[in-house]
């Protein structure tokens, strides 16, 4: 049997996670309790938000229940949300960041050899975002890149040792072949050997 406090926590969490209003029946099914129990918890939560003067309100609308910000917070919310948002990483940026994360410190020419295309723009964007930084120079004078503390925070990592094990990566046969070819070409370039014709 689920206690009232535990049920209230679960219902509140489910409402927080849902972008759309959720009906009491759906909440009851998810929590494995009777709809009447959920309805009582919803009313208690709504009254608690009102009584405590919280920044959230619980509303019954569109056939369900939804958490939303308090109307008094609207001016502050508009100011916060009017700030320019950082766009998501492009595929090239994500690829470059992954190479740096796993091979750091690594130079831009080496990143380009692994990717098979230039890495100037992607590296510049990652530097600008603060996800990577310069970490010295290679023996040939090329800048070496490494990830920053911001990278760890954004990806929820305590340290680089918490990166997923690359050996657990299970690509499709087509992707595996493409990666194999790119790595072979990069290895041949690194060794100064002319790449074999495909």
Domains of the chain: 4-70 (1.10.10.10), 91-190 (1.10.10.10)
* Of 197 and 121, the one with more pLDDT: 121
* Of 45 and 84, the one with more pLDDT: 45
Question: Given a cut of 70, is residue 1 above it in pLDDT?
Answer: no
Q: What is the DSSP letter of 55?
A: S
pLDDT, tens digit, 9 for 90 and up, residues 54-98: 999 998 887 789 998 898 998 898 888 777 667 788 888 988 999
Question: Given a cut of 80, is residue 153 above it in pLDDT?
Answer: yes
Nearest-angstrom CA–CA distance, 129 and 68: 31
pLDDT, tens digit, 9 for 90 and up, residues 22-44: 999 999 999 999 999 999 999 99
Paired strand residues for 137? 143
* Of 178 and 161, the one with more pLDDT: 161
**Continuous H helices in 64-163:** 74-81, 91-103, 108-115, 120-129, 149-154
38, 27 in Cβ contact below 8 A?
Answer: yes
Q: What angle do CA 97, 98, 99 make, to 5 degrees?
A: 90
Determine the pLDDT at residue 198: 44
């Amino acid at each position: 049997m689920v206690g009232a406090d535990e049920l209230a926590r679960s219902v509140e969490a489910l409402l927080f996670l849902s972008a759309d209003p959720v009906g009491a029946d759906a909440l009851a099914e998810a929590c494995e309790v009777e709809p009447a129990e959920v309805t009582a918890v919803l009313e208690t939560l709504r009254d608690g938000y009102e009584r405590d003067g919280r920044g959230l309100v619980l509303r019954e609308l569109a056939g369900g229940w939804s958490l939303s910000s308090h109307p008094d917070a609207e001016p502050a919310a508009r100011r916060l949300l009017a700030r320019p948002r950082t766009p998501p990483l492009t595929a090239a940026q994500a690829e470059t960041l992954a190479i740096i994360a796993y091979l750091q410190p690594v130079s831009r020419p080496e990143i380009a050899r692994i990717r098979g295309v230039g890495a100037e723009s992607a590296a510049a964007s990652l530097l600008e975002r603060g996800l990577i930084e310069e970490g010295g120079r290679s023996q040939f004078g090329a800048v070496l890149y490494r990830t920053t503390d911001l990278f760890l925070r954004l990806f929820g990592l305590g340290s680089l040792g918490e990166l997923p094990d690359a050996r657990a990566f299970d690509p499709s046969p087509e992707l595996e072949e493409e990666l194999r070819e790119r790595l072979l070409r990069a290895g041949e370039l690194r060794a100064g050997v002319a790449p074999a014709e495909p």
